[in-house]
Structures are given as structure tokens and as C-alpha cells.
Amino acid sequence: MRNALRIVSVMLAAGGLLAFSPKPEDVPVSDTDVQAGPEHVTAVVKGSNRFALRLLAISEAGKNAVFSPYSLSVALTMTRAGATGQTAQEMDALLGLGDVPSPRGDAAWTLARRQMEHQAKQWGDLAYTFSTANRLWASRDLNVNDQYLTLLKNYHLAGLGRLDHTKPDEAAAVVNNWVKEQTRGLIPSIITRDNIVSEGLVITNTIYFRGRWGEQFSKRATKTEPFSLYNGETVDAEMMRQVERFRYAQGVVASPDNRVEVQTLVMPYAGGASAVLILPREVEGLKPLVAALGTAEGAESLDAILGKVQSVRVNVSMPKFTIEGKASVAGQLKSLGVQRAFTDNAEFPLISPTALMIADVLHAAKMIVDEEGTEAAAATAVVMAPTSAMPMPEPDPVEFKADRPFLMIIRDEATGVWFFVARVEDPRSK
């Protein structure tokens, strides 16, 4: 995401990336035709988080980046539900849906969403907010298959809105206003008039998160201090500070080509989520770190480090920041193996009798981190068009001073879903 990936943050599960402890009585899925259990949620979450690391690995070095693995995964899963043949196989490989193809994967996301919504309700909107929404937007002249509409309604609560493709400005405004409302104003728009075409379809997902730190930073402790950039320069940043008990571990993220020593810090929000900070020991360590995490070996070594976190006193320093980005991710998806879906040979017969292809995938995200907590939102739009239409004993506190480029992950503790990933290269820039 050349211009859109401008930070990296994600929500992970306690003790690792994939922990999941659902309460079936709280999140029944009896209203769907295909059932999903914890093992299926684990599979889709693992696929989504691995997808995030591969996407992060091809982001531009030296640039901030922010995106939502959850939003991208759900939007693309809804799109894949209409695919067959090689198109479906490529999308399954990207999203890790090989063992949970549609509609099992859709049912698994249903269970995960209900678990996260249930957790948010337990805390109330003032302390912890998680909301997500899905919707289809079809031009008036596109015939959408009833079976596809039913599947997306049952599993993803995605209704259908009709757009007048002869009035593209008004049609785009309808979609953008819905996105702005769902993200509480953080994402004001996602598509343009150019994305509205005859017999076209736009598949959208939004996510909004607000979490108050379990242990808030004192504003009086925030000081201007130097932050080291990737190129060796230093800049002034507003550094927040506190000494408290947090889950912490250190280790090596290793791949065939890279070995990077890191510190990891898990900071809970007052609810069912946490922020995971991954800080390389060396100032120039973020580039090889994200490269390593894009491999299976690197991802597994990060799992191992997060699996051994322990509660210790930590002297935390980290910057306040606001990072946002918006761009097409079609090129990145193609480089990760989803190619047929973007061509005239795309196979989406389950969506419509009209031969459709993916014309573009648009993503926007924003993250705000300060002494009180974190607010973040994202939106994804998969733009479809007719083929050929468009493109222990208490020791001294551990020092955790994030005064150099680092990763931040916001995750759901129960399901392991990564809501947001942020690559913080320069806390000054948006």
C-alpha cells in the first residue's frame, strides 16, 4: 500500500496470536445453515493474521502504515463466497481458507464477530467500543443471485443497497456517507464516482474501535524527547511514560534471511483487547523484522515469543501519534497470488449471471494513540465490474523505550483477531 500503509497495529489473543475461548451459549450460530466451532475460528483468524504479516512485508520501508487485517479479510471473504474454480482457490490461499472454504469460513467469521460484540457489550461504550458492519451496493441494472444475497445476509449481516449508476457522484456519496457514519467520522470516504459503473457491485466492510488503556498514562508525564528515524535522523516526539506491570517478553524473530532481536510488550485496554508493541533492539531493525515476519518461520517465531510473555514491571516510553492512509491494495493482492479475480477470466458466477471481475480493492484506516487510549477505524471496498469494464521475583522495571521505529498491533483477546496493524516510522507524520 504505497501511500496507504502508513503505520502498523493489531489486536492479538492472550499468550499468542490464536487463542480462542468462545462461550457457545453467548454466541449461538443456529440461525445459519453451516455451523462453525472454535477450531474454525482459529483457522480463519490464523489465515487473516498471516495475510496481515505478508501484506506488511511488502509495505514501503521508511514509511508509516496502518491497515485493518480484519476489515480486509472479511470484505474479501464475502467476495470469495461468490467465486468458483481457480479464482476461489487463489483467494482461499491468500486468506488461509483452504480448510474452511465458503460457507464454513463465513460461519467462522460469524462466530468470531459475535464473540467480539458480546465482549464489547460487557464493558459498555465508555470503556470499550467495537463495531463492524457489512453492506453490498449494486447498480440498479445488476441482477444479484438470491442465494448469494441470503448467504451474506445470514453470515455477515450484509444488506443490499441499490445505486443509480447514471448519477455516479450521488451514488458514491451514498456509500461514503454510510462509511462515515459506521466509522464515527474517522473514515469520511472510501470510493469515488469512478467506482460507479453499469452492472457494478461494491462490497464494503467497516470496523470501529475505541479502547481506554487499562493503566492510563499521566498527561503530566508526557515529555518531548528524541525519536530515531530509519534513516538515522532524530526528531522530537511527545513520549508518554509510565511504570506498571505488563506482559513482556524478548526474543529473536528469525527467518532464513533475517534474525532480529525484539522486545514485545502487551498492554491491555479496559475491555477485551490489547495493544502489542514489537520493538527491534536496533534502530534499523524494523525493515528486516517485517521481512522476516512475512515468512512462515518468522511468524512462528513471533508466536513463540508472544507465547512466553510474563507479567513484570516495565518502564514504558512510547510516542503519541495519529496515522492515517487510504489507497488501492489491488497491486499488493496480485503480488500475493490473487490474479485471476482481476482479469476477464475471473469466476464469480455465484454472485450474478453477469460475468464480474474485481476492478479494485480500496482500503482506508486511521489510528489515534494518546494517554487515554486508542481510537481507530477502517473501511474496505471491493469494487466489482463486468469483465473488461475497469482495472517473577520483582526485579527493576524492564526498560521499554519505543524511541525508534516499531510495530503496534491491536488484537481481540478472546478470538485472536487482529483489528489493526501499525508500522510507526515517524510519529510526527500522518
User: Sign (positive/negative) of CA torsion 341, 347, 351, 356?
Assistant: positive
Return d(Cα 81, Cα 100) in angstroms, integer.
12
405 within 8 A of 427, measured Cβ to Cβ? no
State residue 118's pLDDT score.
86
State residue 206's pLDDT score.
98
pTM, two decimals, is: 0.89
Write out the three cell numbers for 30.
Answer: 443456529
* φ, ψ for residue 243, nearest 5 deg: -115, 120
- Going from the C-alpha of 134 to that of each of 57, 77, 228, 273, 337, the distances in angstroms are 27, 11, 40, 22, 25
* φ, ψ for residue 299, nearest 5 deg: -65, -40
Q: Which CATH superfamily is domain 38-213+321-386 in?
A: Antithrombin, subunit I, domain 2 (3.30.497.10)
Buried b / exposed e along 183-206 (16+ C-beta atoms within 10 A): beebbebbbeeebbbebbbbbbbb
Query: What angle in degrees, to the nearest 10, is found between the helix axes of 286-293 and 296-306?
Result: 100
Return d(Cα 427, Cα 412) in angstroms, integer.
24
In terms of DSSP bridges, do strands 321-328 and 356-369 run parallel, antiparallel, or are they unpaired? antiparallel
Query: What angle in degrees, to the nearest 10, is found between the helix axes of 69-80 and 85-95?
Result: 160
Walk along the chain (430 residues) and give the pLDDT tens digit of each residue. Answer: 333 332 233 333 332 333 333 443 333 333 446 788 899 999 999 999 999 999 999 988 889 999 999 999 999 999 999 999 999 999 999 999 988 888 999 999 999 999 898 888 887 766 789 999 999 999 999 999 999 999 999 999 999 999 999 999 999 999 999 999 999 999 999 999 999 999 999 999 999 999 999 999 999 999 999 999 988 899 999 999 999 999 999 999 999 999 999 999 999 998 889 999 999 999 999 999 999 999 999 999 999 999 999 999 999 999 999 999 999 999 999 999 999 999 999 999 999 999 999 999 999 999 999 999 999 999 999 999 999 744 445 567 888 888 889 898 889 888 888 988 888 999 887 6
User: Sign (positive/negative) of CA torsion 108, 110, 113, 117?
Assistant: negative
Buried b / exposed e along 348-357 (16+ C-beta atoms within 10 A): bbbbbebbbb
* φ, ψ for residue 413, nearest 5 deg: -70, -35
State residue 322's pLDDT score.
96
Return d(Cα 227, Cα 429) in angstroms, integer.
13
Residue with cell string 472510501: 190
State residue 17's pLDDT score.
38
Segments making up each domain of the chain, as ranges: 38-213+321-386, 219-319+395-403
CA angle 197/202/208 to nearest 5° reads 145
State residue 430's pLDDT score.
63
Domain 219-319+395-403 has CATH 3.40.640.10: no
DSSP code for 199: T
* φ, ψ for residue 404, nearest 5 deg: -155, 165
CA 25 from chain center: how many Å?
27
**Do the domains spanning 38-213+321-386 and 219-319+395-403 agree at the CATH topology level?**
no
Neighbours of 33 (CB within 10 A): 11
In terms of DSSP bridges, do strands 128-139 and 159-163 run parallel, antiparallel, or are they unpaired? parallel
- What residues are paired with 67 via a beta bridge? 421
* φ, ψ for residue 185, nearest 5 deg: 85, -5
Residue 19's closest CA among 306, 218, 295, 269?
Answer: 306
State residue 125's pLDDT score.
67
95 within 8 A of 77, measured Cβ to Cβ? yes
In this structure, the chain runs to a length of 430
DSSP alpha helices (H): ranges in 214-294? Answer: 286-293
Residue 31's closest CA among 131, 157, 205?
Answer: 157
105 within 8 A of 79, measured Cβ to Cβ? no
DSSP code for 330: H
